[in-house]
Chain A
Amino acid sequence: MSITEILFWFLSAMALGGALMMVTSKNPVYSVLWLVVVFFAISGHYILLNAQFLAVVNIIVYAGAIMVLFLFVIMLMNMNADNEPQKNKWLKIAGAVAGGSLMLVFVAALRQTETLQAQQVNMGGEAGLIKTLGKTLFTDYVLPFEISSVLFLSAMIGAVVIGKKGD
């Protein structure tokens, strides 16, 4: 077993365990912290795939910005585990069974694809380096890049308008 495989299995276990703990923990603050663990595991996967730019962006944007936003909102609302709504146990079981069935369907569909299963993931390559991606982003994809800045501006204005007090 090579070091890459050991890292792959460790990061996969970390991501799946963190995701399960995120869904099952009662306190929303713990959920956010477990989701940060999942994001770090996924960033580790990106580094393993030599997609270094995406790993850094994932940590900065998701674990750094979005999760802090979630934490702020949760702390502003002053939620604790006591006012977590109680609900039917059967609905919970039905939701878990539905998610499991979805996974079963996906895996069953995967089992029928012999040509895809034979493919290997190429761990090396320079496609994920910041230099390569930056060059492509600012030559071929410069129009989507600028449009996304307009999207950010409108999202910012929208958040302020929605969150404004009054009426």
Chain B
Amino acid sequence: MPINYYIILAVALFSIGVAGVLTRRNAIIIFMCIELMLNAVNLLLVAFSKMHYGNAVAVSPSAVAGTEAQLFVFFIMVVAAAEVSVGLAIIVMMYRNIHSVDVNFLNRLKH
């Protein structure tokens, strides 16, 4: 499978996420679009690691060749899970204060 296909798929997913962040006003859906962008980047990282896998094995035929990018993706998922828990707590707090999750109501620092 050519690497082109994976790049274009990841770019399309990332652009859909960007368009979602720009068009939607619901804070939760904006947050979900950010998750979508993270996943597009993860998919591209794994595809690139598989692209370089053959070269890595040729240079040093060890068991750990080609595992770095996948561990990178694993750590991105770990950080994303921590980020989601804090972010959703912030959104719940915002709903409790302004009784809405519309980001248009957040145009001033103090109310």
Contact = CB atoms under 8 A, between A and B. Distances in A.
Given A61-B81, A91-B23, A100-B19, A163 B93 contact: yes
Contacts of B51: 119-122
B20 A23 contact: yes
Interface residues of B, number: 74
A148 B71 contact: no
Given A69-B88, A95-B19, A132-B64, A121 B1 contact: yes
A5 to B, nearest CB: 7
A77 interface: yes
A12 B82 CA distance: 28
Interface in B1-40: 1-9, 11-20, 22-26, 28-29, 31-33, 35-36, 39
Given A51-B70, A73-B91, A46 B77 contact: no
Nearest to A137: B71
B2 A120 contact: yes
B29 A28 contact: yes
A91 B18 CA distance: 14
B90 interface: yes
> Size class of A's contact patch?
35 or more
A89 to B, nearest CB: 10
A158 B86 contact: yes
A45 B103 CA distance: 34
Interface string B31-67: 1110110010011001101110110010000011111
Interface string A57-87: 1100110011001100110110100011101
A85 B53 contact: no
Interface string A102-129: 1100110010000011011111011110
Nearest to A141: B71
A162 B22 contact: no
B65 A127 contact: yes
Interface of A: 4-5, 8, 12, 15-16, 19-20, 22-23, 28, 31-32, 35, 38-39, 42, 45-46, 49-51, 53-54, 57-58, 61-62, 65-66, 69-70, 73-74, 76-77, 79, 83-85, 87, 91-92, 94-96, 98-100, 102-103, 106-107, 110, 116-117, 119-123, 125-128, 132-133, 135-137, 140-141, 144, 148, 151-152, 154-156, 158-160, 162-163
Top 4 closest A-B pairs, CB basis?
A99-B19, A95-B22, A127-B66, A95-B23
